[in-house]
Amino acid sequence: MVFKRDGISRRKFLARSTMTAAGLSAMTVGTAESNAFTGTTFSKHLIRKKEKGCLRLAACQILNYPDVAQSTQKVLHWIEAAARDQVDVISFPEACLCGYAPAEFWKNADPQEFLRGEAKVIDAAKKLNIAVILGTAHWESGKIYIDLLVIDKGGIVRGRYSKTHLAESWSTPGKVLPVYTVAGVKSCFIICHDVRYPELVRLPAVAGARICYFCSSESGLTRDYKLSAYRAMPIARATENSIFCVMANAPTDRKTFRGSHGNSKIIHPDGNVLIEAAHFEERLVTANIRIKDANGSMARRAANDETILKEWLNAGVKLVTV
């Protein structure tokens, strides 16, 4: 197999890539019930048992299908697995109800299929008392928006976040920067290409967000030159704002090498990665977090220090809807 874009063989690619650093030698394909860890971890903040003042968070790293009904069933399977693991909030990759589909898909996509899938996920969140950050899409005035549907525990729909900075030509940029309370914690949201624009997290963090849910379907392993930046940016969004960042990204399909690059992770406010998946596996990436560790101190300082940016930044915070 040869990657046409780069003209390199699969063997050469595997030999030169960063997979060894991600623990690929120990990697196995995860299952919904598996707790086997195959990526990297950081033990300083390890909380083995969820205590008072803690949340259990999960990023669900899965491949999806163009068939919305089929993808919905897979999402429901992993929500059930997370509920059995006493997860409070589970987040899914960008557009996970259809996979990251090409422009041709959207010409004939049925909005009602997405609404039916979302309704089933809402019902599961209510039944299982789990919060869900769902990668989806919605139609409004004939325009398509790439969305995160934010569902709190009990099946309470808090709202949607629509992707602000697009890497696609077929969708419409969102115009709202919301902070929603999810599992009792003020939270903000970004989708894929949004991660390159720090103000989309800084402004909500100043407004009180303490967790950022970052849902993506980034370029795959054939563009290995992007992997360093892909790893750095969500870590930066966490540490520059003193908040948690939960990244749910699609993995690479072993058979076709399509999809994204995996590496879903949960990041502590001090910038350390608590847990991280490898490239190919489908799994839940879970960690217990202490909510008080996210104090937003760096974001607040940016808004409070007497600098030339103070007035500008505080004007920007008024754009956030809380």
- 303's tokens: 């808004």
pTM: 0.88
Q: What is the pLDDT of residue 95?
A: 95
Q: What is the pLDDT of residue 99?
A: 85
Superfamily of domain 54-321: Carbon-nitrogen hydrolase (3.60.110.10)
H or E segment to which residue 211 belongs = strand 211-216
Instruction: Give the span between the Cα atoms of 200 and 177, in whole angstroms.
Output: 7
Mean local confidence (pLDDT), 34-56: 72
pLDDT digits (tens, 9 = 90+) for 229-251: 999 999 999 999 999 999 999 99
State the pLDDT confidence band at 101, using cuts at 50, 70 and 90: confident
pLDDT digits (tens, 9 = 90+) for 131-173: 999 999 999 999 999 999 999 999 999 999 999 999 998 999 9
State the pLDDT confidence band at 32, using cuts at 50, 70 and 90: very low
Mean pLDDT of the chain: 89
pLDDT digits (tens, 9 = 90+) for 175-214: 999 999 999 999 999 999 999 999 999 999 999 999 999 9
Structural domain boundaries in the chain: 54-321
183 neighbors 210 (Cβ within 8 angstroms)? no
Which residues lie below 8 Å from residue 315, measured CB to CB, with a gap of 6+? none
DSSP character string of 58-113: EEEE----S-HHHHHHHHHHHHHHHHHTT-SEEE--TTTTT-S--HHHHHS--HHH
148 neighbors 157 (Cβ within 8 angstroms)? no
